């Protein structure tokens, strides 16, 4: 019998919490002024990939002309970083295009 009483008390507590939650006004999410938008973040990512590729090209050029202090391993690592970052950016672009196409094909 005590389990039934505890269950009923628990249900009453849950209902009172539900009523309290429903009585509270809902807060509306307001975008922050000065916050970064999705397009800003995407633009920054593209710029970082571009910077990585330019740094890789400069390092490769320095190695090709025989500049001292430039090691082949550094050139190869830089080249692979640039390649991986570009491939990741390409995949993000593909996913965004696919998501856009899926949304446009949804019936209204």
Cα gap 56→50, rounded to integer Å: 10
Residue-level pLDDT at 37? 85
10-residue block means of pLDDT along the chain (108 residues)? Answer: 68 76 68 73 93 96 94 95 95 94 91
pLDDT for res 88:
95
pLDDT at 3: 61
pLDDT at position 10 is: 76
The DSSP element (H or E) to which 82 belongs, if any, is helix 72-104
């Amino acid at each position: 019998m005590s389990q039934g009483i505890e269950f009923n008390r628990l249900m009453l507590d849950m209902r009172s919490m539900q009523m309290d939650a429903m009585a509270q006004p809902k807060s509306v999410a307001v975008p922050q002024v000065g916050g970064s938008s999705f397009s800003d973040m995407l633009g920054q990512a593209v710029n970082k990939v571009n910077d990585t590729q330019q740094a890789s090209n400069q390092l490769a050029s320095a190695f090709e002309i025989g500049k001292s202090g430039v090691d082949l391993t550094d050139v190869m690592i830089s080249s692979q970083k640039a390649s991986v970052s570009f491939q990741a950016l390409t995949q993000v672009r593909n996913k965004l295009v696919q998501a856009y196409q899926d949304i446009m094909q949804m019936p209204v």
